């Protein structure tokens, strides 16, 4: 898919590009949060890509002239016996030289549309409400959407029903994929 506002192209999956995707996350987080955080997030992405069952992970890419300039990784959350399909965005990165140019928002709009088309009911993330609010995420209470692990910053727990409605409470407990089941990430 091509971005109508420029030369961005969107793709899905990391097959054959896992190292490139991991490097984007490591480099981006190292530039903004320091080398230690870059190594942590790069390792996290490596574990996500290598160890998550294909049915439980979606990787979305933004590319420009064949170069990876953004990536968003969504993995499945499960809530007891609730049949709704829920995915969490964690993590997301836009190349340092392309930040502030709408790449992240365009990538997320593409990703959310793709998830909606495949029948995902709810998208959650744990991040900056001001940024993610631009693409429809809004604060959600933990009694509506329980987190799989304790949140360090509950104000960053945000989500959206992909049908445009409201999120009816999801029964706990919530479980996440193995790579995300790390208290240091929450």
Digit-coded pLDDT (tens) for 126-156 = 999 999 999 999 999 999 999 999 999 889 9
With cut-offs at 50, 70 and 90, classify the pLDDT of residue 6.
low
Residues present in the chain in total: 186
Task: Write down the pTM of the prediction.
Answer: 0.93
CA 137 to chain centre: 12
Q: Is 174's pLDDT higher than 90?
A: yes
- Cα 44 to Cα 25: distance, rounded to the nearest angstrom: 9
Q: Tell me what pLDDT residue 154 has.
A: 86
Q: What is the DSSP letter of 155?
A: G
Q: Please write the tens of the pLDDT for every residue from 85-114.
A: 999 999 999 999 899 888 999 999 999 999
Contact 105, 140 (CB under 8 A): no
User: Which domains are assigned to the chain?
Assistant: 8-185 (3.40.630.30)
* Percent of the chain's residues with pLDDT above 70: 97
Burial class (CB in 10 A: 0-12, 13-18, 19+), 56: middle
Per-residue pLDDT, averaged over 118-132, amounts to 95
- Cα 57 to Cα 47: distance, rounded to the nearest angstrom: 12
């Amino acid at each position: 898919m091509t971005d109508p506002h420029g030369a961005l192209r969107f793709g899905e999956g990391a097959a054959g590009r896992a190292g490139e995707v991991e490097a984007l996350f490591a480099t981006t987080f190292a530039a903004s949060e320091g080398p230690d955080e870059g190594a942590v997030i790069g390792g996290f992405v490596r574990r996500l890509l290598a160890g998550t069952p294909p049915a439980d992970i979606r990787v979305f890419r933004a590319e420009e002239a064949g170069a990876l300039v953004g990536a968003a990784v969504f993995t499945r959350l499960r809530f007891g016996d609730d049949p709704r399909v829920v995915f969490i965005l964690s993590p997301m990165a836009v190349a340092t030289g392309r930040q502030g140019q709408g790449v992240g928002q365009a990538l997320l709009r593409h990703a959310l549309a793709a998830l909606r088309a495949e029948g995902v009911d709810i998208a959650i993330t744990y991040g900056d409400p001001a940024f993610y609010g631009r693409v429809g995420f809004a604060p959600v209470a933990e009694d509506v959407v329980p987190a799989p692990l304790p949140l360090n910053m509950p104000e960053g727990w945000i989500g959206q029903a992909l049908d445009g409605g409201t999120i009816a409470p999801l029964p706990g407990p919530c479980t996440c994929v193995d790579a995300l089941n790390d208290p240091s990430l929450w």
